[in-house]
Amino acid sequence: MNTRSRVRTGALAVALALLAAACTSGGVAGGVRGKPGAAGLRDPYFPKLGNGGYDVTHYALTLSYDPADGRLDGRAEITAKATQDLSAFNLDLAGLTVRRATVDGDTAAVNRAGNELTLRPRAEIADGHEFRAVITYDGEPQTITDADGSEEGWLKTADGALALGEPTGSMAWFPGNHHPSDKASYDITVTVPAGLKALSNGVLTAEKKEKDGRVTATWHTPEPMASYLAMLAIGKYDTSTATVFGKVPVLTAADPRIATETAALRARIPEILDWEKENFGPYPFSAAGAIVEPDDDVGYALETQTRPVFPLGSFDTGTVVHELAHQWYGDSVSPASWKDMWLNESFATYAEWLYEEDFEHTPAQRSFEKAFANQGAWAFPPAEPPTPQDLFGTPVYQRGAMVLHRIRQTVGDEKFFEILAGWPEKYRHSTADTEDFTRYVESVAGRDLSGLWDVWLYGDGKPEKITD
Ligand code: ARG
Ligand code: ZN
């Protein structure tokens, strides 16, 4: 920038500062500078997921649901900070009817197009201003079928519903910035008919009976959470409580029909978390637990924050080790975009290998050799799934875990275990991408590992030899 333009910019800055001082409540001076926030964050797999121009810091959701008619009534209070001067901004919401929206107390204009909800506040929002958007909405939330055929979003169950959101389903039950890169704290309050329970993430902070007999539960998640990890489980549940690490409350729940048969493994959650803490470092959250559903309710287990959800058929030691490991890898350190999915699944799969090494006489080396022999693991490089349908493909899990084992073979056990705990420590409650990972591993290894990345992380097809 030359001197003359610097002088001019200086004069402009003074004029703008005067205008800004004259303007109240964080609005943009004169209302001429703000632009709409982007309608998507250009995720390589879901370009319209998430929205630009602001960062959410907190979601306060107040919901009521009646399984008898399948209707949800919702109020989402979203506290966010503008990252540009905003004339309008988007939220992601699938289906449902928006009744009213306000920004900082004033009615905002609402527009819907596909899964994009646009709010145009009365006054523009200045860069850096913290604002509060309140959206009231209702309707029958939808089930979303993913590219790989699995169902997420809102799943009706025999006695209630389950809300699950990986990778895009959370937009089916609340408006938000539904990309993993925008994490926030949550308060989730849910009212359900008498006789049912409403479970969610974090700590139960209030429970009350309404005058009409319905029951209301409030759940608090103080740590940042990616919206795909938010969860609701509404229905009949038997619950048990325990404590882990001397202070963290553990709440497990199971449908009453399967409460007895799942009790023993549910009771082992503190001991499994203790073992994971030895290997992965301090547990990142202030609550823990699990929810077990009949197989008809859901087709896969999911690492919903603090309290993963399992179908009965996957409620086994290996899957419990896997979903609890995600609390460090995926939930605390979240993917910067869905391209970084392998960072979640490689570590969670490797946790299973390590558990088998420690307790089931199966060295990780043997799991590595077995994965190497699995042709399905070589369909594509784990860091480059070709389509959204491949995000949960075998290479993401098996070849991802092989990458970790190759690192272990290359740097030795001491440095490898330093990496296992150091990675979630460095990016605790944050997000990271594949390059952050390779850079971090090289910094611990003290050397360039591009040969390893080229073959195991990015290479096409199966290497000729099991060592590179
Ligand atoms: N992240 C889950 C796990 O491996 C799997 C979720 C499967 N979801 C799906 N849409 N395919 O623990
Ligand atoms: Zn997983």
Burial of residue 105 (CB within 10 Å: 0-12, 13-18, 19+) is: exposed
Residue 253 is encoded by which pair of tokens? 């729940």
**Alpha-carbon gap, residue 343 to 226, rounded angstroms:** 15
Task: Kindly state if the Cβ of 323 falls inside 6 Å of ligand 1.
Answer: yes
Residue among 157, 154, 235, 162 nearest 193 (CA): 235
How much is the pLDDT for 13?
52
Burial 60-97 (b: 16+ CB within 10 A, else e): bbbbbbbbeeeebbbbbbbebebebbbbbbbbbbbbbe
**Average pLDDT score over the chain:** 94
Average pLDDT over residues 170-177: 98
Q: What is the dihedral of CA 186, 116, 73, 131, to 10 degrees?
A: 50
Q: Are strands 288-293 and 248-254 parallel, antiparallel or unpaired?
A: parallel
Q: Name residue 334's beta-bridge partners.
A: 431
pLDDT tens profile 320-366: 999 999 999 999 999 999 999 999 999 999 999 999 999 999 999 99
Distance, in Å, from the CA atom of 39 to the CA atom of 111, rounded to the nearest integer, reads 12
Query: Average of pLDDT values for 422-448?
Result: 98
In this prediction, residues 98-124 reach a mean pLDDT of 98
**Backbone CA torsion sign across 436, 403, 282, 418:** negative
Any atom of ligand 1 within 6 Å of the Cβ of 298:
no
Q: Mean pLDDT across the stretch 243-255? A: 98
* End-to-end C-alpha distance for the chain, whole angstroms: 49
Phi, psi for 221 (deg, rounded to 5): -120, 100
Looking up tokens 């099991």 gives 466
CB-CB contact of 224 with 306 (8 Å): no
Q: Is the CB of 430 under 6 A from ligand 1?
A: no
Read off the pLDDT of residues 376-412 as tens digits, 9 standing for 90 and up. Answer: 999 999 999 999 999 999 999 999 999 999 999 999 9
- What is the set of domains in the chain, with CATH numbers? 54-325 (2.60.40.1730), 333-457 (1.10.390.10)
Q: Give nearest CA residue, ligand 1 atom 10.
A: 150
Residue (of 350, 336, 368) closest to 437 by Cα position? 336
* DSSP assignments along 333-347, one per residue: EEESSGGGHHHHHHH
Q: Mention every residue, 6+ apart, whose C-beta is less than 8 A from residue 348.
A: 303, 322, 323, 325, 326, 329, 330, 397
Q: What is the DSSP string of 41-87?
A: ---SS-TTSS-SSEEEEEEEEEEEEETTTTEEEEEEEEEEEESS-EE
Contacts of 325 (CB under 8 A, 6+ apart): 276, 280, 347, 348, 351, 352
Q: Which atom of ligand 1 is nearest to the CA of 146?
A: 10
CB of 392 within 6 A of ligand 1: the answer is yes
Give the number of other CB atoms < 10 A from CB of residue 128: 11
**Residue 167: is the preceding peptide bond cis (ω within 30°)?**
yes
More confident residue, 244 or 16: 244
Residues β-bridged to residue 98: 137
Q: State the pLDDT at residue 465.
A: 87
- Residue-level pLDDT at 4: 39
Model pLDDT for residues 296-307, shown as the tens digit of each residue:
999 999 999 999
Alpha-carbon distance of 100 to 447, in angstroms, equals 56
Are 358 and 275 contacting, i.e. CB atoms less than 8 angstroms apart?
yes
User: Do the beta carbons of residue 226 and residue 302 sit within 8 Å?
Assistant: no
| Tokens describing residue 15 | 């004029």
Strand-pairing partners, residue 425, are none
Q: What is the CA radius of gyration of the chain?
A: 24
* Per-residue pLDDT reduced to its tens digit, 261-312: 999 999 999 999 999 999 999 999 999 999 999 999 999 999 999 999 999 9
Give the three-class secondary structure for 161. Answer: strand
Q: How many CA atoms lie within 13 A of 219 on its CB side?
A: 25
Which of 392, 394, 396, 398, when mutated, tests ligand 1's pocket best, judged by the most ligand atoms within 8 Å of its CB?
A: 392
Angle at 332 between CA 115 and CA 358, to 5 degrees: 130
DSSP assignment of 197-218 equals EEEESSEEEEEEE-TTS-EEEE
Residue 11 banded pLDDT, cuts 50, 70, 90: low
**Quick one: which of 140, 144, 96, 151 has its CA closest to 293?**
151
* Mutation probe of ligand 1 site: the residue of 300, 315, 331, 347 with most atoms within 8 A of C-beta: 300
Query: Looking at ligand 1, which residue's alpha carbon is closest to its atom 7?
Result: 300
User: Ligand 2 center to residue 3 CA distance, Å?
Assistant: 55
Q: Is the model more confident about 5 or about 193? A: 193
Please tell me the distance from the alpha carbon of residue 221 to that of residue 325, in angstroms, as a whole number: 19
Q: How far is the CA of 301 from the centre of ligand 1 (A)?
A: 6
| Weakest mean pLDDT among 5-14, 45-54, 166-175, 337-346 | 5-14
pLDDT of residue 326: 99
- Which ligand is closest in space to the CA of residue 308? 1
C-alpha 137, offset from chain centre = 23
Regarding the beta carbon of 150 and ligand 1, being less than 6 Å apart is answered yes
